[in-house]
């Protein structure tokens, strides 16, 4: 494995060229996007795409997102794109919004999980865009982590999970948003939100008008069929049990009750953490939930590295970026949600 340090604002041509040659040859390159690090391969090469699934230990029916650098590549991989959807794409790309569209035959079933649709986005990160341009190929790229693990927001996270399974890591520092892109299915009318992300529901409705929010998305439940990544299988989880406290008014009491039985680590905002004794992880601030999103997966990995048995996490309002935060947190916790102090005793007994 080669790890190359790259300036995220002015990517060095030599480093990008080396990585692009690996993509062209059917290899795997981990690279930063504005959301998380992706594990990239030639989206049109079935064998190369299979390498992604092997490296991640990811089920083959879990579709990948195809990353493009221009609208010519969009036309190459997708078809039947309405004029209104194309106009919206031209407004929001590059950016953290993935569109599910009808696929062209050139995109192999390995990339789409056997579906007749393809998830596409144009990332807003200089390294990602330069890699795609230099490769002259659309690049399929899920998050660059082992399946079920928290998504990587630094090159260290990638190396921790995939050392020995990836050819090149382009180290562009920490990613900006910290949670994966928003995914919306625009093959239906009205469009359907498949995965919340940095591009919020409120922003989607300003663009598309009516947008359907399926129950399983709002409740962060696994779907029977995956039209997009993150829908069907366990995701984002630390190795230690994680519990979500639904009511912030009882958060401190819940933490203290757990600590009578277990070595509990509190994951909370700076405001809430200020009144709690260690061990604790400050995730960000309530005033700016984008700071919580940026640190979410890093916090889950930090939990695993700390001297503690379990994590107890504060809830955040499920609007704006908060919907994406809680979607990931609920899945990471396997829906261990605490709504009353009585729940603590039940969960503590389960851990005994």
Please report, in range form, the residues annotated as the binding site for L-threonine: 35, 67, 121, 141, 181
Cα–Cα distances in Å, from 301 out to 154, 238, 332?
11, 6, 11
Annotated binding site: 35, 58, 62, 67, 117, 121, 141, 143, 151, 181, 195, 236
* Nearest CA-CA partner of 149 in 64, 231, 29, 230: 230
- The rounded distance, in Å, linking the Cα atoms of 91 and 205 is 14
Annotated binding site for ATP: which residue ranges?
Answer: 58, 62, 117, 143, 151, 195, 236
Helices 251-259 and 341-351 meet at what angle, rounded to 10?
30
Omega into 279 within 30° of 0, i.e. cis?
yes
């Amino acid at each position: 494995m080669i790890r190359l340090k790259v300036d995220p604002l002015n990517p060095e041509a030599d480093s990008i060229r080396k990585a692009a040659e690996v993509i062209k040859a059917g290899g795997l390159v981990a690279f930063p996007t504005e959301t998380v690090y992706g594990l990239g391969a030639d989206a049109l090469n079935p064998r190369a795409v299979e390498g992604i699934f092997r490296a991640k230990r990811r089920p083959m029916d879990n579709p990948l997102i195809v990353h493009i650098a221009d609208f010519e590549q969009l036309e190459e991989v997708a078809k039947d794109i309405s004029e209104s959807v194309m106009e919206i794409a031209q407004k929001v790309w590059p950016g953290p919004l993935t569109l599910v569209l009808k696929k062209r035959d050139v995109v192999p079933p390995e990339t789409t999980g056997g579906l007749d649709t393809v998830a596409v986005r144009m990332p807003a990160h200089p390294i990602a865009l330069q890699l795609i341009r230099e490769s002259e190929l659309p690049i399929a790229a899920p998050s660059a982590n082992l399946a079920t693990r928290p998504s990587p927001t630094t090159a260290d996270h990638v190396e921790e999970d995939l050392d020995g399974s990836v050819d090149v890591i382009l180290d562009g520092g920490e990613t900006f948003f910290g949670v994966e892109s928003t995914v919306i299915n625009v093959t239906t009318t009205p469009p359907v939100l498949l995965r919340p992300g940095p591009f919020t529901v409120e922003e989607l409705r300003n663009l598309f008008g009516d947008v359907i929010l399926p129950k399983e998305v709002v409740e962060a439940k696994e779907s029977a069929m995956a039209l997009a990544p993150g829908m069907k299988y366990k995701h984002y989880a630390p190795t230690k049990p994680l519990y979500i406290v639904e009511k912030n008014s009882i958060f401190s009491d819940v933490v203290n009750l757990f600590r009578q039985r277990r070595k509990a680590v509190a994951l909370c905002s700076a405001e809430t953490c200020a009144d709690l004794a260690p061990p604790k992880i400050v995730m960000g601030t309530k005033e700016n939930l984008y700071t919580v999103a940026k640190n979410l997966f890093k916090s889950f990995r930090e939990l695993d590295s700390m001297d503690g048995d379990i994590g107890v996490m504060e809830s955040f309002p499920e609007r704006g970026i908060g919907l994406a935060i809680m979607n990931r947190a609920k899945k990471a916790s396997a829906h261990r949600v605490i709504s009353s102090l009585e729940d603590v005793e039940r969960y503590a007994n389960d851990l005994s």
